[in-house]
Amino acid sequence: MSRMLVDLPTDIIYRTTYKVVYSDINAANHLGADRILPIALEAQFGFVRSLGYEDAIVFENAGLIMANSQIDYISEVTYGASLNVGLEVQIVSKKSMAFIYSITDANSTIEVARVKTLLLCFDYATKKVVSIPEGFRQKLHALRQRSNTDQ
């Protein structure tokens, strides 16, 4: 059976770096498999905050909950490495979006991992999935417009 990797988008709308710290290292002396998703979620937090939201989990009366995640482990990483994390957002439906992450070693540009998370917007008061807030959609559109004019 062939391996099915997360398809990386051609556009990346947010980039950040992450320095591998001691608590990320496992007994085999490399980045633990359980640390990739938290690194991606740190990028998610930074991205949502970069849009002007103070709370990266709940914004515009909608919370973000993860419905699914896929992690592709590609290359080993050791203590002290700097990672580049690229993020793209794809609107999947009225109530869900996929965040796609590309993680590479900053010094060698070797691909480390790919991550895809399916996020739902959720109203915690009513305990129901809700539509993606229009304000978020507008900010995402404006970011794409700026990104296209910068190229």
Per-residue pLDDT tens for 9-54?
888 999 999 999 999 999 999 999 999 999 999 999 999 999 988 8
According to DSSP, the residues that pair with 36 across neighbouring strands are none
Q: Does 38 fall in a domain?
A: yes
Tell me how far CA of residue 42 lies from CA of 11, 48, 61, 86, 127, in angstroms: 20, 10, 21, 12, 25
Specify the pLDDT at position 149.
65
| Separation of alpha carbons 58 and 123, rounded Å | 9
Is 147 within 8 Å of 11 (Cβ atoms)? Answer: yes
Q: Does 5 fall in a domain?
A: no
Specify the pLDDT at position 27.
94
Instruction: State pLDDT tens for residues 94-108.
Output: 999 999 999 999 999
Neighbours of 26 (CB within 10 A): 11
CATH number at residue 131: 3.10.129.10
Q: Does 6 fall in a domain?
A: no
Is residue 148 pLDDT above 70, yes or no? Answer: no
Q: Does 61 fall in a domain?
A: yes
Specify the pLDDT at position 3.
79
Domain residues for the domain of 48 are: 14-150
- Phi and psi based region of residue 61 (left: phi greater than 0; alpha: psi -120 to 50; beta: remaining): left
Structural domain count, the chain: 1
Cα torsion 91, 75, 57, 142 to 10°: value is -40
Q: Does 118 fall in a domain?
A: yes
pLDDT band at residue 62 under the 50/70/90 scheme? confident
| Separation of alpha carbons 42 and 72, rounded Å | 17
Q: Does 7 fall in a domain?
A: no
